[in-house]
Amino acid sequence: MTIRIVHFINQFFAGIGGEEKADHRPEVREGAVGPGIAFKEAFGEEAEIVATVVCGDSYFNENMAAAVDEVISMMENYRPDLVICGPAFNAGRYGIACGAVAETVVNRLGIPVVAGMYPENPGVDMYKKSAYIIETSKTAAGMRKAVTPMARLALKLARGEELGSPEEEGYIPRGIRKNQFAAERGSKRAVEMLLKKLEGEEYTTEYPMPVFDRVAPAAAIKDIKKAKIALVSSGGPVPKGNPDRIESSSATKFGKYSLQWLDDLNPGNSETAHGGYDPVYANEDLDRVLPVDVLREMEKAGEIGSLHEYWYATVGNGTSVANARRFATEIAKELNVAGVDAVILTST
């Protein structure tokens, strides 16, 4: 019997459009669409993509509960044996959409799911325990390399076959540990790994530890009354109208905005672009997110040297580590050139 598969993709890969069409509502199309053509070739006669469900990245992330229900309802009508999501590569909003769909398919429909993402896609950490996520490259240039392992794993899951390790199958480790029997006892394996480590030889740990960035604290400011202070925020504070169109989730950009002649942020000159918290109180008085009013008072009272003439803003909601690191690097360079002594970082 042919395996029935439903494929979930975003508006870009469906050929609808880019960011200008990211508010596209969910729709379903018969058969394979976009990258589904490559999957169709990889499956051969064993499986068929019976339908493709499409949803815009912005629509999904800004209406997640409703979007999930719409998408799953469309999928149910085709009685799939398995669902494929993406691949989303390093596209943050797309990855989160794929992950949310995958999690709901597993929990609500009780069938397996295979997705594809770059390891730093925020969707990985959020949903890796819910579905198998094949590791992909950063961009769609790696589409063909992503399709082959995704299709292979999908067929194994649909057949009910036993899976190998993440390294063998190509999926990102899910943080789920299972007991298994080994040829050598644990103490012997541990000593062998220790000896290899001492000799500088390669070895594979059986218990990989998380890696965290270590940031050395900066030296204390000697005289705060002479210091130039800058404001940087991931809480989404932007001028009224969000001129740079910073995304409400999974931001791909940051903004730089002038504070010249500004002593106060109010509904007439500013708002938040953030989609991860209730914006009502922030939009009533954006100084709650970016304390321009208080810093101006401190500046006039001589409690600080000066407030830097620009503020920098982005949205931290679902933003990938890679993008956040890039934003920080670019902003830090500008602040150093401007002679800024300290930065106040605000969030939500």
What number of residues does the chain have? 348
The secondary structure element, H or E, covering residue 272 is strand 270-272
pLDDT at 215: 82
Considering the entire predicted model, what is its pTM?
0.70
Domains in the chain with CATH codes: 3-169 (3.40.50.2300), 224-346 (no CATH)
Distance CA 251, CA 246 (A): 6
Other beta carbons within 10 angstroms of residue 9's beta carbon come to: 26
pLDDT at 126: 87
Distance CA 244, CA 252 (A): 11
**First CA to last CA distance, the chain:** 52
Q: Reply yes or no on whether the pLDDT at 81 is more than 80.
A: yes
Is there a contact between 174 and 97 (Cβ–Cβ < 8 Å)?
Answer: no
pLDDT in tens, 121-150: 888 988 999 899 999 998 899 999 999 999
- Give alpha helix (H) positions in the chain: 36-43, 57-62, 64-76, 92-104, 122-127, 143-159, 166-169, 186-198, 280-284, 292-300, 321-337
What tokens does 289 get? Answer: 């997110």
Q: Reply yes or no on whether the pLDDT at 339 is more than 90.
A: yes
Q: Reply yes or no on whether the pLDDT at 116 is more than 80.
A: yes
What tokens does 285 get? Answer: 């008085």
Q: Reply yes or no on whether the pLDDT at 210 is more than 90.
A: no
- In the chain, % of residues over pLDDT 70: 100
pLDDT at 69: 96
pLDDT at 298: 97
pLDDT at 325: 87
Is there a contact between 265 and 294 (Cβ–Cβ < 8 Å)?
Answer: no
Per the listing, tokens 């900066």 go with 218
Distance CA 195, CA 207 (A): 17
pLDDT in tens, 15-54: 999 888 989 999 999 999 999 999 999 999 999 999 999 9
Q: Reply yes or no on whether the pLDDT at 99 is more than 90.
A: yes
Contacts of 208 (CB under 8 A, 6+ apart): 173
